[in-house]
Amino acid sequence: MFFCGNIYFTLLPGTNRNKTSAEIYDATNTVEGISAIENKINEIDSGEYVFLKAINMDTSRLKPLIEFMKSKNLKVTVISQTVAE
């Protein structure tokens, strides 16, 4: 299977409120690639919840990341969204 393009991640702590679009898409909070987000995930305490929102992508690309998070005893939920361009 061929994939084009890079995956970008933003890790936003706290689930007690909805995040603004500015927070979600702020490039200063964004990392590129699975290995970069794994470094940030290593800072999350075991047992915490992590929600992955995949926009316009094949979520099978996230399988290695999901397995990594589960190995860290994180509770993972994947939300898939298709947005018309």
pLDDT of residue 15: 67
Confidence at residue 4, expressed as pLDDT on a 0 to 100 scale: 54
Structure tokens at 65: 């990341």
Could you tell me the CA-to-CA distances from 5 to 8, 20, 46, 67 in Å, in that order?
Answer: 10, 25, 31, 22
What per-residue confidence (pLDDT) applies to 85? 65
pTM for this entry: 0.77
Cα torsion at 65, 67, 72, 75 (round to 10°)?
90
Mean pLDDT of successive 10-residue stretches along the chain, which has 85 residues: 67 79 82 91 93 86 93 93 79
pLDDT for residue 82? 87
pLDDT of residue 71: 96
